[in-house]
Amino acid sequence: MNFLAHLYLSGNDPELAIGNFIADFIKGAGFENFPPKIQQGILLHRAIDEFTDNHPIVLQSKKRLQPIYRHYSGVIVDIYYDHFLALDWEKFHTKSLRVYVNEQYSLLQSNFDKLPLPTQKMLPFMIQHDWLYNYQYLDGIQRVMKGMASRTKFNSKMEQSVKELKFYHEEFRAEFHLFFPELIEFSNQTIKSFRA
């Protein structure tokens, strides 16, 4: 899952959301340098990634892409799934996507000093180009894929992957809707375990 899903899966806990958002930029035991709730958000993110990467429905989605995109298939599927979360947002949240996204941007800006440096560098671009809201549009996904492709060491071809999203749109959408309720339940149980 990508940024929108990780924020959503944090529930209504701001510190958990911050940790979940920054986790990709925190390596190994580096999470121990953060306050306890943010640490939990980082651990939640890691648990979500492990659950997602090994789920049979997600593996099915990846398999469709692997002949062309190889080990980048998982990254691409994560972004596809954020596209479907944004596209079908009203099925998952009572607030509009516009309102929700603006609240998340405000949360991250008001806690800017708690973010690791790579996140601080990225956040202004995310807000300027409204990544979270624009995930619902194919041209928004195209911009994200192009940006990610420019940062990979090898020729990932990710900038071409909107072609498969268009062609197999309903197949990927169906897989997302089968998988995401299970991920919500898993995330909720993981959050409960922190409180135990």
Please, which pLDDT band fits residue 149 given cuts at 50, 70 and 90?
Answer: confident
| pLDDT recorded at residue 96 | 98
Query: Are the CB atoms for 41 and 10 separated by under 8 Å?
Result: yes
**Domain boundaries, position 107:** 3-195
Instruction: Answer whether residue 154 shows pLDDT above 80.
Output: no
C-alpha 170/C-alpha 12 separation (Å) is: 30
Contact partners, residue 95, CB within 8 Å, separation at least 6: 103
Query: Are the CB atoms for 111 and 18 separated by under 8 Å?
Result: yes
Per-residue pLDDT, averaged over 65-85, amounts to 95
How many domains are contained in the chain? 1
C-alpha 136/C-alpha 142 separation (Å) is: 11
| Tokens linked to 53 | 């990467």
| pLDDT recorded at residue 75 | 93
C-alpha 42/C-alpha 56 separation (Å) is: 24
Query: Are the CB atoms for 190 and 75 separated by under 8 Å?
Result: no
Q: To the nearest whole percent, how much of the chain has pLDDT over 70?
A: 100
Per-residue pLDDT, averaged over 76-92, amounts to 97
Residue 160: Cβ within 10 Å count: 14
Our CA angle for 185, 100, 26, nearest 5°, is 65
Is the whole-model pTM more than 0.85?
yes
